[in-house]
Structure 1
Amino acid sequence: MGQLITPDLRAATPADASSLAALALEVWCATYLRHGINAHFADYALAHFTPQRFDAWIADPTRSLIVSQNRDGIDGFAHMDRANPDPVDGAVTTELTSLYIQPRHQGRGLGAALLHAALAAQAGPMWLAMNAENSAARAFYLAHNFTKSGEVAFKIGDGSYPNDILVRM
């Protein structure tokens, strides 16, 4: 575990879009592609994590992106969507869409700082979907008072992957 730091957090700006896309690609691939990269997953990641998509999310008033920045650039971000009801019963309308920290910066408090900033910005209930096999993420969110409320399937092409829905009231 690295030395705990006090991160510099701020709202994302349009100038951050390409950095956010690159960071998202890095984290998503490191987290979910454990046995190599095939075209099926590469096509999904390259279509989903684009500067244009991040630029649109930054401009969307129903979304918030908070970034953590060190002296060299962005090392993590939290992305919230306030107009996306949870898939279990629709009672919670704000989704923590992603909380991504570059792997080499994990374990130093950035995730907790970004999560707390996201929760403070929301000031209400929040839900998230996480891969059911991601035990590190599960432990992190449970330690931050999220509870499991249900399950969904994350689909890429013809593949289906179990995801847990966690809620913090």
Structure 2
Amino acid sequence: MNIITLVGLLLAVDVLQPVILFETFNPLTTNLLLIVPSALLLPKEPLKRQPLVNKNNKHNYEIRQAKTQDCQSLALLAARVWLDTYARDQVKPEYIEYANNTFTPTYFQSLLEQPDYQLLVSECDGVLQGFVLLNLTAHYQTADNGYEVEKLYIDRPFQGAGLGRALLNQVARQFGTPMWLYTWTENAANQFYRRLGAQQIGTLSFEAFGSTINNNVYKISL
């Protein structure tokens, strides 16, 4: 495959947050080359959120099944969102290594080829804004808690505008409810799930990067 040159991909819009700067990008390896302060690259004026209204209401945001052509953009979006969430205070080398090795086009392509996984994306004017990844065979304690929402990632410029709710509503329409998920106890997403009416049904902890990561487990019935 051809090497694609990418410049100035932003991890977040906050001035003091880091930026992933890809000099070269190989769709097979997703080589992460450099981390620089975002203040060096961000425009002086803050980015404005775009309105997120379904295309059926005569606007151009669309929620659809992911395609092979999306895998490159999905890898970049996922790395940005993951680092933005878990590397809030310090971008450690092991965080970069994890994001670089995990969120690759090959990883997302493999998900598209597995029937137990479903991947929906939101797109506006050719730009992916977020995605939701489902594992239809993963259960928490009992099948009565439904299938797992393994990832719900929204790129920073589009957060807080209703896109997460829209993706989950589409999931409920296509695959039914209930569904379950877990999220880090320090993640701001906890407030979002509670506003949705999610019921906390347990906790889940695991070791990562030399620390214990504590998570809340939610059951969602939209």
> TM-score with structure 2 length normalisation?
0.70
| Structure 2 unmatched runs, 5+ | 1-47, 54-60
Q: Quick one: which of 44, 66, 69 aligns to 2:98?
A: 44
Cα offset, 1:8, TM superposition? 0.9
- Bigger drift between 16-25 and 147-156 goes to 147-156
Contact 1:132-1:164 within 8 A present in 2 as well: yes
Q: Distance in 2 between matches of 1:160 and 1:46?
A: 22
Q: Distance in 1 between matches of 2:161 and 2:184?
A: 22
**Is 1:11 paired with 2:58?**
no
| Structure 1 unmatched runs, 5+ | none
Cα offset, 1:38, TM superposition? 0.9
2:212 aligned residue: 160
Amino acid in structure 2 at the alignment position of 1:5: L
> TM-score with structure 1 length normalisation?
0.90
Q: Name the larger-Rg structure.
A: 2
Q: Distance in 2 between matches of 1:154 and 1:23?
A: 24
Q: Quick one: which of 69, 79, 93 aligns to 1:25?
A: 79
1:108 aligned residue: 161
Q: How many residues align?
A: 166
Q: Secondary structure at the match of 2:153?
A: strand
Q: Quick one: which of 185, 190, 205 aligns to 1:138?
A: 190
Q: Distance in 2 between matches of 1:100 and 1:10?
A: 15
Amino acid in structure 2 at the alignment position of 1:131: W
2:3 aligned residue: none
Contact 1:129-1:166 within 8 A present in 2 as well: yes
Q: Among all aligned residue pairs of Structure 1 and Structure 2, give the percentage whose two residues are the same amino acid.
A: 31
Root-mean-square deviation (CA, aligned residues, Å) is: 1.7
Q: Distance in 2 between matches of 1:29 and 1:157?
A: 13
Higher RCO (CA 8 Å, separation ≥ 6 residues): 1
Between Structure 1 and Structure 2, which shows a larger proportion of helix residues? 1
2:150 aligned residue: 97
Contact 1:44-1:156 within 8 A present in 2 as well: no
